[in-house]
Amino acid sequence: MRYFVQAAGREHEVEIVLQPDGSVAASVGGRPVAVDVVSFSARELSVRVGARVLDLTIEGSSPVLGVVASGTRTYVPVESERMRAAARAKGPESAAKSRDVRAPMPGRVIKIFVAEGESVVAGQPVMIVEAMKMENEVKSRGVGVVAKVHAVLGATVEANAVLISFT
């Protein structure tokens, strides 16, 4: 399965293929990456990349996943090739909505960095949502102009709630 991951202001194409022997073949940007799955469950994954073992905890749900690695939480937009195809089939209006910034998990809005009419770039911090006593930076998924800030400072938001819409 092919995935499109937004990280460090760029989109990365990640392909993961389960092999007949149970191993995993992975590539990033078309370049093979040696990966061994040490253990996994619904929300936790240990992988060996080279000589290093990474213990990952996955939070939230697509299109924005929270990943905790080495005690650091990062939110990354992840889109499968199936999600992309479905958005294209629904037309341009659906594609615009997919750029909406959504809450990665339930929490309270403690900072808003953008206003309506402001231009943003991919990966730009737009808001901070506090969840489980941790401050989570929410970033823009792409380039655009803020059409509406739906979130209100101090308000509680549900997971996947639209926080910001773009034109």
Task: Assign 72 to helix, strand or coil.
Answer: strand
pLDDT of 93 strictly over 60: no
For residue 70, name the pLDDT band (cuts at 50, 70, 90).
Answer: confident
Domain assignment of residue 85, yes or no: no
Question: Of 18, 44, 78, which marks where a domain is finished?
Answer: 78
C-alpha to C-alpha distance for 50 and 61, rounded to whole angstroms:
28
Question: Of 45, 78, 111, which marks where a domain is finished?
Answer: 78
* Alpha carbon 73 to chain centroid, angstroms: 11
- pLDDT tens, residue by residue, 33-44: 988 888 888 889
Residues 63 and 120 in one domain: no
Task: Assign 67 to helix, strand or coil.
Answer: strand
Domain assignment of residue 7, yes or no: yes
Question: Of 78, 113, 128, which marks where a domain is finished?
Answer: 78
Residues 47 and 113 in one domain: no
pLDDT of 95 strictly over 50: no
Give the domain CATH number at 115.
Answer: 2.40.50.100
Q: Are 137 and 130 in contact (CB under 8 A)?
A: no
Task: Assign 106 to helix, strand or coil.
Answer: coil
What total of structural domains would you count in the chain?
A: 2
Q: Which domain holds residue 36?
A: 2-78
Domain assignment of residue 159, yes or no: yes
Domain assignment of residue 89, yes or no: no
Short-list 86, 85, 88, 118, CA closest to 101: 118
- pLDDT tens, residue by residue, 128-167: 999 888 888 898 877 788 999 999 999 999 988 999 998 7
Give the domain CATH number at 37.
Answer: 3.30.700.30
Residues 51 and 116 in one domain: no
